Amino acid sequence: MKKSKFATLFLASSLLAGVLAGCGAGEEGTSSDGGDQIKIGVNLELSGPVASYGSSQNDGFNLAVEEINAAGGIDGKQIQLVTVDNKSDAAESTNAAIKLTSQDKVAAIIGPATSGNSVAQVQIANDSKTPMITPSGTSPNVTVSDNGSVNEFAFRTSFIDPFQGTVAANFATKELKLKTAAVYADNASDYAKGLAASFIEDFEAAGGTIVAEESYVAKDTDFRSTLTRIKGANPEFIFIPGYYEEVGLIVKQARELGIDVPLMGADGWDSPTIVDLAGAEALNNTFIINHYSAEDPDGKAKEFADKYNEKYGKAPNSFNALGYDTVYLLKDAIERAGSTDGTKIKDALKATDNLELVTGLYSVDENHHPVKSATILEFVDGKQVFNTKVNP
Amino acid sequence: MKKSKQFWPFIIVAVLVYVVVQVLISTGMMNQFYSNTLIFIAINIILAVSLHLVIGITGQFSIGHAGFLAVGAYISAIITMKLQLPFVVAIIVGGVVAALAGLIVGIPSLRLKGDYLAIATLGFAEIIRIVFLNIDYVGGAAGMQVSHLTTWTYAFVCLFITVLVIVNFTNSRHGIAAISVREDEIASDAMGINTTYYKVVAFAIGSFFAGVAGALYSHNFYIIQPGQFGFLKSFDILIFVVLGGLGSLSGAILSAILLTVVSTYLQGYPETRMIIYSLVLIIVMLYRPKGLMGTMEITDYFKLWRTPKGGGQHGK
Amino acid sequence: MEWIQQLINGISLGSIYALIALGYTMVYGIIKLINFAHGDVFMVGSFIGFYSITVFGLSFFPALILSMVACALFGVIIERIAYKRLRNATRIAALITAIGVSLLIEYGVIYIRGAQPEAYPDIFSNKTFSILGAQISMQSILILSVSVVLMILLQFIVHKTKTGKAMRAVSHDVDAAKLMGINVDNTISATFAIGSALAGAAGVIFGVYYTKIDPLMGVIPGLKAFVAAVLGGIGIIPGAMVGGLVLGVVETIVSALGFSLWRDAVAFIILILILIFRPSGIFGKNTREKV
């Protein structure tokens, strides 16, 4: 051990330099904006803990791109997707965004699925003037930064809406005429927390009482102990904002424990998997706020469901639909911009007005939040049945 | 231990590497992708080297390094984002608080040995993560937004200091004592070495630099969430150290570089990325269970070339 | 009433941890390897059960047995390919290999079938009994009875059969066992087979009880089961059972008190306290290190 290790370091450093040189020489001129292709970057959670969200959206992207390309592309140009996996990790998401903008020089980025990973990409999008659309990044701070300024290049397809919480509170107090409620929210998502907060505020404002407020974390599987606790508080209604993967289990376990009051959730519930997870019988007397009705016999939703089923052999969930819509939202903007220039696409996205998508008519407000109407559906023997429609 | 004559060449080369990269970045010849990859490599090397001190030199099997990374990341983010203090202060305080966390974790758990220590450190790291998860001040599960302040200069200076300190520590009297703890704890105890002291010191230094890496990490990636610092992150760091060769500083550095580059290039192949990564791990461990470099350093190979007989002195 | 319900919830959760923990503890006891891939064997078992029910139309018990057999084979293959060569390598090399195997299984499954979750079909009616005001579902009773039967069977194998005797001998002293004419390789393989079969059974039971399965489902229960194994004294079979049950009940109590977000932290705090004050676990004997 007498020997100094400094030479080692020297070697390591020079190796580092070598790697650099190699990188520098490696890929030159990969970018090509012109020609007959439009490059669109995909930054998604394809591995890691929330890989199921990312791969669902990826299926939606691929279906939409396939259709658009088969129909002649955008203004005669074929869409080429450059897909990068961010391992469900914010740091990797930043790296992926940097790769897409500075290496591949994509015209726009679609994804990531979660708010955190989207936030990790926003600055890169702004700095490189590359528009990004997250299909399901529901946290307001994806498009509006902490100091209140709007992130010019960030957009989203999904609701953020405290609006949904308000709709649920009104539904519980006015339609169901209930006085007490419990809230059981996914603590890992701003979406669920936001919905829970606005529900609580509006429910109490309407004279109701919140008897229990509990939370879980996405990817939990055992909810029985907390549900038993909620049951002890005797609510007349339980509001469960969250995603179908956990909600399905929550509904099932709640019914097993003898909780038979109405349960309600938002668009995160929308997936055929929820029926498999919870069971049709357990889902009776539950309500869901959604963008559209998947059981709608005519209209875009049905058409999408058929096409999806044909390609993947299964029924679509809300992540598939949001992914599919994201591509069409971008296509519409590129067509209206008449260019693949980032700033022009951004301006066109901002001007999106009443675009007809699978998940409903879509417009953008000044904070880049979508303006969509909501539909309340009730589960009856595993089928979503139309209940009411609420406008923003 | 007197300064080696290789000290100055090392400094010169380090400065040279820094200047060349900095010029390439500021003239725009190196785009953001490469400069960011370099910063990421620098952060990973700091993590690898700091864990190398704990596992490779002192022989304490810690698999909870991501916990200290998280402490550094969160504390530094609070300092810049909430208290509006400069980034340099954030790096130092992040490191110091991580070192304190290292002491708190190390003093009780370093009485344990081998697998038990590994499990205890894993448990502590998970507890640290869950604590951040439950503090609404730092955003809970949804995470905390952090400004982008890490530059190549910050990353390189931190890397340089980390390597310098750890090399000096290893070559000092303390380092020799730490190695004796790795080789045979009972024997070194019998020789009058205060084994607990050296273990805790090594652990705290390792935690300090993990905290520094955390500060660079949080200010490079715009957002930090507790989920980023789970035990899989600890495994990633552990893999740098073991794949490079336990006890080999240059091995740790090389494998940190190699794995970061491989992982970055595989981003475009999501279906097979993790499969390739895991296969590489398994195959290296099966065919070179001591890691790519064993306990050898790169300099040893040069020695071999010059004086063929002198190579064996590092073999245990 | 609520407390009886919570206790039942806890015991059901705990018996799944216990079944997984048994495999961990047996493998650790015999080759001192923390087999991180064990949680993924559990996941594979769950998927085998799922496909044999939905695709081959088997009922619960044939699916359970098929899954156990397949997992036993799978465990032996993992051991023969990945771990056997490392028997004399450092612990850390073996641990890294185990992590590698774990990632390979997880992402191999994702590669084959995608990452989306799957819902176990309802093979038992959702009927619940009301006992003392607590709701007990058929599944809870099933989980408990299958777990208990498997644990009794395991005790029988370990204590009354020749293989069990060999296993105990090898875990006590490999070299001495070899000298006594025990085929160490086969004994280790048998250990892997039995441990993996239990994980496979746990996978099927988990699917039936919790409905949702996905390729990364094994990570957290695997880690928890490992905590349970340490809690009971790693390498000790009754310890793993008790450790699993204790962990399940404690987690449930923490959630029941309204601290569900701290549940995992409490599990790890208990782990650390046990390690510091009684490192060999609840059932372990303290051993002095020989110079």
CATH number of the domain encompassing residue A324 = 3.40.50.2300
The answer as to whether A210 is a domain residue is yes
Cα(A111)–Cα(A327) distance, integer angstroms: 10
Asked whether residue A310 falls in the same domain as residue A286, the answer is no
The answer as to whether A285 is a domain residue is yes
Lowest mean pLDDT among A194-198, A313-317, B152-156: A313-317
pLDDT of residue A18: 45
Q: Which chains neighbour B (Cβ–Cβ under 8 Å, 3 or more pairs)?
A: A, C
pLDDT of residue A155: 93
The answer as to whether A379 is a domain residue is no
Q: Which chains neighbour A (Cβ–Cβ under 8 Å, 3 or more pairs)?
A: B, C
Number of structural domains, chain A? 2
Of A339, A316, A335, nearest in space to A327 by CA: A335
Q: Is the pLDDT reported for residue C44 higher than 90?
A: yes
Q: Using CA of residue C110, residue C113, residue C119, residue C122, what is the dihedral sign?
A: negative
pLDDT of residue C81: 92
Task: Give the torsion through C-alpha atoms of A91, A94, A99, A102, to 10 deg.
Answer: -140
Q: Is the ipTM of this complex over 0.90?
A: no
Q: Which residue has the tokens 């070697």?
A: A11
Q: Is the pLDDT reported for residue C142 higher than 50?
A: yes
- Segment of B114-128, B288-302, C132-146 carrying the highest mean pLDDT: B114-128
The answer as to whether A386 is a domain residue is no
Res. A34 pLDDT band, cuts 50 70 90: low
**Adjacent-strand bridge partners of B224:** B144
* H or E element at residue A12: helix A6-26
pLDDT of residue A32: 41
SS3 A40: strand
Res. A44 pLDDT band, cuts 50 70 90: very high
Mean pLDDT of A17-41: 55
Mean pLDDT of A24-36: 46
pTM: 0.87
pLDDT of residue C233: 86
Of C137, C212, C252, the CB nearest to A249: C212
With beta carbons under 8 A apart, name residues in chain A contacting B30: 20, 24
pLDDT: which is higher, C282 or B107: B107
The answer as to whether A26 is a domain residue is no
pLDDT of residue A23: 43
What's the length of chain C?
Answer: 291
Res. C86 pLDDT band, cuts 50 70 90: confident
Q: Which residue has the tokens 């864990």?
A: B51
Asked whether residue A286 falls in the same domain as residue A171, the answer is yes
pLDDT of residue A371: 82
Q: Is the pLDDT reported for residue C62 higher than 90?
A: yes
> Residue A367: phi, psi to the nearest 5?
-95, 15
With beta carbons under 8 A apart, name residues in chain C contacting A226: 255-256, 258, 260
C91 touches chain B (CB under 8 A): yes
* Cis status, amide bond into A112, omega within 30 of 0: yes
- Min Cα–Cα distance to chain A from C284, Å: 30
Cα(A279)–Cα(A276) distance, integer angstroms: 5
Of A222, A231, A273, the CB nearest to C119: A273
C135 touches chain A (CB under 8 A): yes
Q: Is the pLDDT reported for residue C285 higher than 70?
A: no
Q: Which residues contact C216 (CB under 8 A, 6 or more apart)?
A: A49, A51, C43, C106, C115
Helix axes C237-256, C2-31, angle to 10 degrees: 140
With beta carbons under 8 A apart, name residues in chain A contacting B142: 115-116, 139, 188-190, 193
Q: What is the DSSP letter of A77?
A: B
- Min Cα–Cα distance to chain A from B254, Å: 7
Res. C34 pLDDT band, cuts 50 70 90: confident
The answer as to whether A99 is a domain residue is yes
Tokens of B290: 């001591």
Q: Is the pLDDT reported for residue A93 higher than 60?
A: yes
Tokens of B93: 């305080």
Q: Is the pLDDT reported for residue B302 higher than 80?
A: no
Domain-ending residue, one of A257, A290, A323: A290
Q: Is the pLDDT reported for residue A11 higher than 60?
A: no
Q: What is the DSSP letter of A359?
A: T
pLDDT of residue A79: 94
pLDDT: which is higher, A359 or B99: B99
Q: Is the pLDDT reported for residue A31 higher than 60?
A: no
- Segment of B289-293, C116-120, C159-163, C277-281 carrying the highest mean pLDDT: C159-163
Asked whether residue A119 falls in the same domain as residue A183, the answer is no
The answer as to whether A116 is a domain residue is yes
- Min Cα–Cα distance to chain B from C63, Å: 29
With beta carbons under 8 A apart, name residues in chain B contacting A19: 41, 257, 261
pLDDT: which is higher, B175 or C132: B175
Per residue in A325-371, pLDDT tens? 999 999 999 999 988 899 999 999 999 988 888 888 888 888 888 88
SS3 A373: coil
Q: Is the pLDDT reported for residue A285 higher than 90?
A: yes
Tokens of A303: 């058409």
pLDDT of residue B220: 93
Res. A24 pLDDT band, cuts 50 70 90: very low
Q: Is the pLDDT reported for residue A188 higher than 80?
A: no
Strands A263-265 and A286-290: parallel
Domain-ending residue, one of A266, A290, A314: A290
Asked whether residue A325 falls in the same domain as residue A347, the answer is yes
Per residue in B1-11, pLDDT tens? 445 556 777 88
pLDDT of residue A293: 67
Strands A360-364 and A370-371: antiparallel
Q: Is the pLDDT reported for residue A115 higher than 50?
A: yes
CA dist B269 to A83, A323, B235, Å? 8, 20, 22
Asked whether residue A280 falls in the same domain as residue A339, the answer is no
Count of Cβ atoms closer than 10 Å to residue C223 Cβ? 21
Q: Could you list the residue range(s) of the whole structural domain that residue A217 is in?
A: 162-290
Q: Which residues contact B147 (CB under 8 A, 6 or more apart)?
A: B80, B81, B219
Q: Is the pLDDT reported for residue C180 higher than 70?
A: yes
Tokens of C120: 């176990």
What's the length of chain A?
Answer: 392
Q: Is the pLDDT reported for residue A62 higher than 90?
A: yes
Residue ranges of the domains in chain B?
A: 7-25+32-228
Of B260, B8, B39, B28, nearest in space to B159 by CA: B39
SS3 A379: strand
Lowest mean pLDDT among A54-68, B61-75, B94-108, C208-222: C208-222
C134-160 burial: b if 16+ Cβ within 10 Å, else e: bbbbbbbebbbebbeebbeebeeebee
Opening angle at CA A30, ends A27 and A34, nearest 5: 165
